[in-house]
Structure formats: C-alpha cells, structure tokens
Amino acid sequence: MPVITGNLADIKLIDILELIHHSRLTGKLELNHGEDKGEIYFSKGNVVHAVTGSVEGKDALFLMYLWNEGTFEFSPNVEAPKTTINEDIESIILDLSVKLDELQDIKEALDPFAVPVFTEGASAANEELKLSATEWKILAQIDGKSRIKDIAAKLGISEIEVFKAIKRLISLGLVKVQKFRSPDEVADKRLMDEIMKKFTEYIGPISGIIMSEKIMQLGEKESAFPKNKIPQLIELLAQEVPEESRAKFKKELAEIASKYGL
C-alpha cells in the first residue's frame, strides 16, 4: 500500500526526495504527468534509479523535476530493478538546480508538451548557419504541430538534448516555442465567428482589425484561442463598444458563449 500520495502542484519533487531521504525509506515513487509516467527508486533514502519513457538515470530525474503538476505515490519495500544513480541526495539536488539554471532563460521551452515553431522570417536554409547534426535534424522536424517530446521520440534522443538544441535555436532567432493545446482546450471556430459577427454589429467593419489586436494582446492566435480566455476577450472587446451599449453587448456575448458550454 502506498504510504505517501499527493499532487505535484502542491509539493515539489525536491521536497519529496528530501522527505524520503530523511525518512531513510526503501521503495518506489511513481509519478504521473498527463500522458507521461515516471518511477524513482530509493534504497534506505538514497535515489538509486529513475526512469521515464526511454530515459533513465539523472536525465530522467531532471525531466520529472520539470513536472509542476500531476500525481505521485510512494510504495515502500520495492527494490530497484537496476542502479543508474550513485550520488548522495545533496549532489543530486545541486546538479538538478544547476541544470535548470543553465536553461532558465528558455523556461517556457522546458515542457515536453511545448511546440517549437519557426519565427517569422526565419530560414533554416541559411548557408551561414553553423548547426550541429542534431540541431539540423530537430529543425527538420518542426512543423508547428510536433511537441518537444514527439521530436525526441521520433529522433530517438533525450528530451534534454532537444531542450538544449531548442535553446540555441532560440538564441539564433530561428525558433520560438508555444504552449500545446489539445482540441478540447481550444474555442470552437463557430464561437469565434459568432463573437466576430456580434462585435461587427456594434462597431462596424473595423471589428476584424480590433478583434485581432485584442487576441494578440492576450498572447494568442484566433486559430487556437483557448476557451478559458473567452471571458477576457469579451471584456477587452466590450471596452471598444459605446458605453451605453456595453452591458447589452456583454450579455449577448455571454449568451453566445453559454451555447458552447462556457
């Protein structure tokens, strides 16, 4: 039976590692992060093995260290199937912190579910670029849909290698990363069309330009606008409507949104 359970949104992995270490427990810590799963094994409080997907050892530990949400549970008296880590907990934590600091300037890319995309005007065919073979291979996989974890799996390399390559490609101005959203998180196109139609009724032909500006102001694109930002968009659009009509406009948009379960 598990003796420690919880959510990674409430307690950091480092704190869990220290708790198990100081309790000198032997067993297995299982973590679930979306479609990703990981295991960390302990022997008398010391981390001896970690694995997530095809990645093992400290690299696997670092990937799990980046998970800031998901569940975990610790089951005692489970022996590790192998040993891939031979360091004390203080050294491990220091190494994880140093590794994170090295990549801190691209924190938004440190998400296996992030999607790398080309920046506007970027050209991967620039003959003056001096890229490694791995960086060229990663560039070839960027299609605006593939996530970092997908690229790593397709190339058969660690997600950490992809993180490092993406960091350099960002520094060269070739790519940027954006949050991956499942279809369930994206607002229905029909809803966006209805919002635009209603907005046009209130302010006329210029509505398209203004709505595009408001969507950009929220850091989003209309083609993948998140459902959870619809209320914010409505508020921004309402500010452009004459004050005497603003309340009616907001009420009508709220009724439109409710038809789509929002």
DSSP conformation letters of 200-240: HHHH-TTHHHHHHHHHHHTT--GGG-BGGGHHHHHHHHHTT
Residue among 36, 61, 15 at smallest CA distance from 4: 15
Q: What is the pTM of this model?
A: 0.55
Between CA 196 and CA 202, with CA 198 as vertex, the angle to 5 degrees is 110
The per-residue pLDDT of the chain, averaged, comes to: 84
Q: pLDDT tens-digit profile of 232-256?
A: 999 999 999 999 999 999 999 999 9
What confidence score (pLDDT) does residue 127 get? 47
pLDDT at 38 over 60: yes
Query: Pairing between strand 175-178 and 115-118?
Result: antiparallel
Q: pLDDT tens-digit profile of 61-118?
A: 888 888 878 899 999 999 999 999 998 888 888 888 887 776 665 555 567 778 888 8
Distances (CA, A) of 205 to 110, 191, 195, 197, 235: 41, 19, 14, 10, 20
Residue 116: φ, ψ to 5°: -75, 135
Q: Among 25-39, 111-125, 177-191, which stretch is predicted with the lowest mean pLDDT?
A: 111-125
> Would you tell me how many other CB atoms lie within 10 Å of the CB of residue 149?
20
Residue spans of the domains in the chain: they are 4-102, 105-178, 185-259
Residue among 24, 40, 54, 20 at smallest CA distance from 82: 40
Q: What is the DSSP letter of 49?
A: E
Tokens read off for 139: 């560039």
Residue among 29, 12, 19, 10 at smallest CA distance from 89: 19
Residue among 139, 146, 148, 147 at smallest CA distance from 118: 139
